[in-house]
């Protein structure tokens, strides 16, 4: 694989670290700024809001620019947002800085996915995307725990300075390793880019991301009470168990990328079916400590097997604007984060037990299967032909001219 993918992974590592580290630093930030923990929780929401707003807007606005320059500029914005977070004088400035930090998140992954797939042969596209996402999953294993410890011992501001340093390293690696390219000029301009999102299959693909990863976050958002109340773990053991989730996510991401290069559709459906099964078994698996540890690991594997297939699915269904569609998929991921947590919270509040968010997540994963099936059905109806396997055996849907009845041939 090209070394340029390493530069994308470094950027993804920094982004993943800053996205999730705030959750572990909430008590420290709240104490230092003299605010409540629920108020500090809005700092997580501000970042997610920045992702949802910035992903499609920045991708569309930079569609005519060299992708290499766009990636460097986005990482520069990332460094600025985190540096401002480190020096924020009060809560409101920190809230604004967190929003700014989230703006480049989705566009970086969106443009990065397009760059990654252009660096490799067609039959290795999914693996290239999974290697970029590797930085995100490794951040959950190493970046977030180390950054949290740094914040607890050196102060939360030191954490954001450290993340800014990662961003600077990413800028250097992007400048050195990403090949120079020419500016892109979509024939329809910004309006043409946005028009690509009007396609029903694109929205169904984005809906699959919302439902599929909403299933993950419905359970993962409440994993701590499941582990402590149902499985009987002590509070101090949760951090180690979350690292197991990161290990599972990393393995699932790599396996999903490799499998998707052979059959994107089968990998996507297989991952979603696995997610349904794992979440549905949570009430049983959470009755013992050893099986709970297995459940957390399998949750990471099943959820992230679908990561690169979903990214490629969206890009294929919006081939006229892959950067914009890929960025919009990151916005969908963050909507899944918020929506899944809300649905899991409703199940928990209804008094159905500590593992009820996982059961609700299983229902969302079933919905994801249905939406993905609808996306492929619409493509099949529009194209008139389904190619079960391309030259690389990807199982992608390819639009083809359908001959008149007398000339029609079987594919």
At residue 398, the pLDDT reads 41
322 and 210 together in one domain: yes
Cβ 18 vs Cβ 160: under 8 Å? yes
| CA 378 from centroid of its chain's CA atoms | 25
pLDDT of residue 239 exceeding 80: no
At residue 185, the pLDDT reads 52
Q: Quickly count: other Cβ atoms within 10 Å of residue 328's Cβ.
A: 28
φ and ψ at 376, to 5 degrees? -70, -35
- Tell me if 295 is assigned to some domain: yes
CATH of the domain at 263: 1.20.1250.20
At residue 408, the pLDDT reads 37
For range 257-264, the mean pLDDT: 91
Name the more confident of 386 and 341: 341
At residue 186, the pLDDT reads 52
225 and 172 together in one domain: no
Q: How many Å apart are CA 175 and CA 164, to the nearest integer?
A: 17
At residue 314, the pLDDT reads 85
141 and 212 together in one domain: no
Q: Quickly count: other Cβ atoms within 10 Å of residue 154's Cβ.
A: 12
104 and 67 together in one domain: yes
46 and 71 together in one domain: yes
At residue 237, the pLDDT reads 80
169 and 199 together in one domain: no
Q: What is the pTM of this model?
A: 0.79
pLDDT of residue 384 exceeding 70: no
- Tell me if 394 is assigned to some domain: no
Please identify which residue in the block is written with the tokens 């993804």: 12
- Tell me if 398 is assigned to some domain: no
pLDDT in tens, 323-352: 788 888 888 888 888 888 889 888 888 888
In terms of Cβ atoms closer than 10 Å to its own Cβ (0-12, 13-18, 19+), residue 408 is exposed
- Tell me if 85 is assigned to some domain: yes
Q: Which of 157, 181, 205 is the last residue of a domain?
A: 181
Nearest to 194 by CA among 22, 321, 68: 321
Q: How many Å apart are CA 383 and CA 402, to the nearest integer?
A: 8
DSSP state of 405: G
166 and 228 together in one domain: no
Q: What does pLDDT average to over the chain?
A: 84
Q: Which of 181, 209, 241 is the last residue of a domain?
A: 181
At residue 146, the pLDDT reads 85
Confidence of residue 194 (pLDDT cuts 50, 70, 90): low
135 and 198 together in one domain: no
246 and 352 together in one domain: yes
126 and 10 together in one domain: yes
- Tell me if 405 is assigned to some domain: no
Q: Which of 153, 181, 209 is the last residue of a domain?
A: 181
- Tell me if 409 is assigned to some domain: no
- Tell me if 366 is assigned to some domain: yes
CA angle 133, 164, 44 (to 5 degrees): 70
Structural domain total, the chain: 2
pLDDT of residue 59 exceeding 70: yes
- Tell me if 237 is assigned to some domain: yes
**Token code pair at residue 292:** 């709970």
For range 28-38, the mean pLDDT: 84
**% pLDDT > 70, the chain:** 89
pLDDT of residue 290 exceeding 60: yes
347 and 285 together in one domain: yes
pLDDT of residue 404 exceeding 50: no
55 and 14 together in one domain: yes
**Token code pair at residue 65:** 């620019």
For range 274-286, the mean pLDDT: 95
pLDDT in tens, 80-133: 999 999 999 999 999 999 999 999 998 998 889 889 988 888 888 888 988 898
Q: Domain of 8?
A: 1-181
Q: How many Å apart are CA 137 and CA 171, to the nearest integer?
A: 20
At residue 387, the pLDDT reads 44
């Amino acid at each position: 694989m090209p070394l340029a993918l390493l530069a994308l992974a470094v950027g993804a590592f920094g982004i993943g670290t800053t996205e999730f580290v705030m959750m572990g630093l909430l008590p420290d930030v709240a104490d230092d700024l003299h605010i409540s923990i629920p108020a500090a929780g809005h700092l997580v929401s501000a970042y997610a809001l920045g992702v949802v707003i910035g992903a499609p807007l920045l991708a569309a606005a930079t569609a005519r620019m060299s992708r290499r320059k766009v990636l460097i500029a986005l990482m520069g914005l990332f460094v600025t947002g985190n540096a401002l977070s480190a020096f924020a004088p009060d809560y409101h400035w920190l809230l604004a800085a967190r929003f700014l930090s989230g703006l480049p998140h989705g566009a970086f992954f969106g443009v990065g996915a397009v760059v990654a797939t252009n660096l490799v042969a067609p039959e290795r596209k999914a693996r290239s995307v999974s290697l970029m996402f590797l930085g995100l999953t490794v951040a959950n294993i190493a970046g977030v725990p180390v950054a949290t410890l740094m914040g607890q011992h050196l102060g939360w501001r030191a954490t954001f300075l450290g993340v800014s340093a990662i961003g600077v390293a990413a800028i250097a690696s992007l400048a050195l390793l990403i090949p120079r390219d020419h500016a892109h000029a979509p024939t329809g301009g910004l309006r043409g880019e946005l028009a690509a999102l009007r396609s029903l299959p694109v929205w169904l693909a984005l809906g699959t991301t919302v439902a599929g990863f909403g299933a993950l976050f419905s359970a993962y958002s409440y994993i701590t009470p499941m582990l402590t109340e149902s499985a009987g773990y002590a509070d101090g053991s949760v951090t180690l168990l979350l690292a197991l989730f990161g290990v599972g996510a990393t393995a699932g991401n790599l396996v999903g990328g490799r499998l998707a290069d052979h059959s994107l559709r089968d990998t996507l459906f297989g991952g979603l079916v696995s997610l349904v099964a794992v979440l549905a078994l949570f009430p049983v698996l959470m009755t013992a400590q050893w099986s709970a540890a297995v459940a957390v690991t399998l949750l990471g594997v099943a959820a992230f097997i679908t990561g690169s297939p979903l990214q490629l699915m969206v890009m294929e269904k919006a081939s006229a604007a892959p950067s914009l569609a890929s960025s919009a998929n990151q916005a969908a991921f963050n909507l899944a984060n918020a929506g899944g947590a809300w649905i899991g919270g409703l199940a928990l509040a209804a008094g159905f037990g500590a593992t009820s968010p996982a059961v609700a997540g299983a229902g969302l994963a079933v919905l994801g299967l249905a939406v993905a099936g609808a996306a492929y059905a619409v493509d099949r109806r529009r194209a008139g032909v389904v190619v079960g396997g391309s030259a690389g055996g990807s199982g992608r849907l390819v639009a083809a001219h359908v001959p008149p009845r007398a000339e029609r041939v079987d594919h």
